[in-house]
Amino acid sequence: MGSTGRHGSRRSRAWSCAARCPTAPRRCCAPTTRASPSSRGATAATRPRRARAGRTCACSGRSSSVICAATASICTSGAARARRPTRSRPTTSRATARSGCSDALTEDGAFGAVTFEIDGRRVSRDLLDSALEIEALAAWLGADALAAARVLDVGAGYGRLAHRLCSWAPRARVVATDAVPLSTFPCEYYLGHRGCTNAQVGPLDEAEALIARGGFDLAVNVHSFGEAPRAAVAWWLERIAAAGVPRLFIVHVERELFALEDDLSRKSYDDVLARLG
Local confidence pLDDT in tens for the 277 residues of the chain: 433 343 444 444 434 333 333 333 333 333 333 433 444 333 333 333 433 333 333 333 334 456 655 433 233 233 223 333 334 343 434 444 455 676 789 999 999 999 999 989 999 999 999 999 999 999 999 999 999 999 999 999 999 999 999 999 999 999 999 988 889 999 999 999 999 999 999 999 999 999 999 999 999 999 999 999 999 999 999 999 999 999 999 999 888 999 999 999 999 999 999 999 8
CA dihedral angle for residue 222, residue 153, residue 169, residue 133, rounded to 10 degrees: 10
First CA to last CA across the chain, in angstroms?
27
Pairing of strands 150-154, 266-267: unpaired
Q: What is the pLDDT of residues 213-263, one digit of tens each?
A: 999 999 999 999 999 999 999 999 999 999 999 999 999 988 899 999 999
Q: Which CATH code is given to the segment(s) 4-78+91-276?
A: 3.40.50.150
Number of helices (H) and strands (E) in the chain: give both, helices first.
Answer: 11, 13
**Rounded CA gap, 64 and 267, in Å?**
24
Question: What is the C-alpha to C-alpha distance for residues 140 and 137, in angstroms, rounded to an integer?
Answer: 5
**What would the pLDDT profile of 26-52 be if each residue is shown by its tens digit?**
333 333 334 334 443 333 333 334 333
Alpha-carbon separation of residue 251 from 1, 70, 170, 204 (angstroms):
11, 6, 23, 21
d(CA 130, CA 163) in angstroms, rounded, equals 9
Assess contact for 232 and 18: CB atoms under 8 A: yes
pTM of this prediction exceeds 0.85: no
Q: Where are the domains of the chain?
A: 4-78+91-276
